[in-house]
Amino acid sequence: MPAAGPGCVIIGPAMREGPRRGGREEVRGLFYVVVSTVGYGLLPILAKVAYAAGVRTPGLLAWRFLGAWLIFFLLARGAPALGLAVRLRLWGLGAIFVVNTLTYFGALETVPASTVALLLYTYPVIVTLLSAALGMERLTLRSLGAAALAVSGCALTADAAAAASPRGVALALATALIYASYVVLGSRLAAGIPSQTVALHVTQVAAVAYLPWAVLRGDLLLPATAVAWGTVAALCLFCTVVPIRAFLAGLERIGPARAAVVSSLEVVVTIGLATAFLHERIGFRSLMGGVLILGGVLVQNLGVLRRLGGPPSPATGPDAPAV
């Protein structure tokens, strides 16, 4: 999920006008964002399992980001040293990420995982508007239509939000706004920097923020059960390291507005898993909302789908940027 939203291959100047790569590079970008989406879709499920096992939010976030920081530190070994100004930019991006995760997990404490996922996905339209306002992507009718479909689908399935905790609902909506800012700023502040280096700085800030909090609250020592430690380890690897790395790698290839729409699949993943494993109910309106979200993804990526069988573009040859 985005909240852990928000790795990053480099976002170059061309990205600010929308990606100009074609064919296979765009397909690769879509693949990376889908991988990220599945990891983030699993996150609220594992978080609920961890809460049920007695894990509290400070300890969960401290161990999650401490582990992720160590993994990204190993991945970033040998990378060129960054200047202080660049590192301050990345730490600033990490600070946004910290606030994002705090509001997201706060919402999960009080409302169902499926409701949080639905409310969160008001963010694609925010990303589209912010990207256009900053001149990073053109505001096309297709982009607006795709974002509208995705957000309408979320609104249609959010009927359970009315009975949920008002505080949880407010935190989930705040997460949507913060994550949209993280997506847009990430495509600017991470320009020209390897993904593992960006992820290292983002998780570094998160670990530094959450570790003292867990110590002060007495939550650093998790319950001595396999479920508690196993879910936290899975959150670290499969819901943090993999999706952060994959999302920002995809962001570089397909742009923030399209990445936001594709990421709307996360809500489908979360609802499906919440229904299967947490026994959260999903009705006809939620099902129709999922159809609208998928429709938004298809509308946004019609051009890519038409080029799937075409010849590779120059950007996909041996000299293409590697993840």
CB atoms inside a 10 Å sphere around CB 175: 29
Reported as a pLDDT band with limits 50, 70 and 90, residue 163 is: low
Residues 278-294, mean pLDDT to the nearest whole number? 78
Q: Which of 225, 192, 237 is nearest to 65 (CA)?
A: 237
Angle at 175 (CA atoms; ends 282, 153), nearest 5 degrees: 35
Domain ranges of the chain: 2-309
The overall average pLDDT reported for the chain is 79
Q: Is the pLDDT confidence value at 302 over 90?
A: no
Q: Is the pLDDT confidence value at 10 over 70?
A: no
What percent of the chain shows pLDDT beyond 70? 83
Q: pLDDT higher for 284 or 94? A: 94
The pLDDT, as a whole number, for residue 193 is 79
Residues 205-226, mean pLDDT to the nearest whole number? 95
Q: Which of 89, 103, 102, 136 is nearest to 258 (CA)?
A: 136
Q: Which two tokens stand for residue 250?
A: 């995809």
* H-assigned helices in 237-322: 242-254, 256-262, 265-277, 284-300, 302-306
Listed range (205-209, 260-264, 312-316) with the worst mean pLDDT: 312-316
The pLDDT, as a whole number, for residue 160 is 53
Question: What is the pTM for the complete model shown?
Answer: 0.76
Q: How far apart are the first and last CA of the chain?
A: 20
Q: pLDDT higher for 286 or 127? A: 127
The pLDDT, as a whole number, for residue 49 is 95
